[in-house]
Chains A and B, each alone.
Chain A
Amino acid sequence: MLQTHGPRILIDISAPSADIQEGKALGLEFPEPFRITAVIDTGASLTVVNPEVVEGCKLRATGFAIVASIERKARYHQHAARIEFPGTKLKALDGIPVVACRISQQPYACLIGRDILRNWLLTYNGGGNITILELG
C-alpha cells in the first residue's frame, strides 16, 4: 500500500482560528473544516493544497510563491490555513502558509511538505506503514 499510494495522512483543514474568530464577530461565515487525504512528500519544500479546497475553506490569500514541479514553474497564491491531524496526537498547526496549486492526476488534495515535516520524526516502513513523532 505504501508503494502504491505513498505515506498518507488525514487532515482537517480550515481557515486559521484568528480569522474565524474575527470574521464571525463581523458576521462572516466559515465552513466546517474539510477532511481530506494528504500525502507526505519529502520532495516538496512546502505544503500544497488544491485550489478547490482553498476556495471551499475560504482560506485568505496572503502572498505569492514560485513553485517548480516536473510539469511547470509558475507563481501561485499563498494562503493561510489551520491544519489538524485527526486520530493522531500531532499538534495542530494554526496559521501556516499553504500554496494553492493543482495536484494533477493524483488521488489526494494536499501535499504535506518539508515546512511541516521539519517538526516531525517520520519512519517509513516499506513493508508496513508510517509512524510520525513530533520533535521537540
Chain B
Amino acid sequence: MTDSHQNLAADFEAFETHRKEWAKKHEGQFVVMRKGEILGFFDDYASGLRAGIAKFGARNEFLVQQVSEEELVLAIY
C-alpha cells in the first residue's frame, strides 16, 4: 500500500462533517470514499470493501466507514 494513513484520516474528517446528514438516509450502511470522492453507500462492509478495491485498486487506501448519527463507542471487557 503506497498511501499513508493521512489520506484515510482526511477522509474520516470529511466523513465526520457529513455524518449527521448521511445518517438521515444511510444509517447503518457503509460509505466508501477516497480523497473526498464518494463511491457509494453499501449495505455491508464486505460489499463496500470489494467495490472500493475494484474502483481504487489494491495499492490505494480508501475509507469504509459505517454511517451512524453518533460515533459508536465499542466496548471490550
Interface residues of A (CB under 8 A from B): 16, 18-19, 22-23, 25-26, 28, 41, 43-46, 48, 58, 60-70, 73, 77, 80, 94-97, 99, 101, 111, 113
Contacts and interface: CB of A to CB of B under 8 A. Distances in A.
Given A19-B53, A111-B76, A96 B46 contact: yes
A16 B76 CA distance: 24
Contact of A69 (B1, B66, B76): B76
Contacts of B45: 80, 95-97
B77 A22 contact: no
Given A18-B50, A28-B58, A63 B76 contact: no
Contacts of B57: 22, 26
Q: Which of A23, A44, A64 has the most CB of B within 10 A?
A: A64
A64 B31 CA distance: 13
A95 B75 contact: no
Contacts of A113: 76
B39 interface: no
Contacts of A25: 58
B43 to A, nearest CB: 13
Nearest to A58: B1
A25 B59 CA distance: 11
B41 interface: no
A44 B77 contact: yes
B75 A68 contact: yes
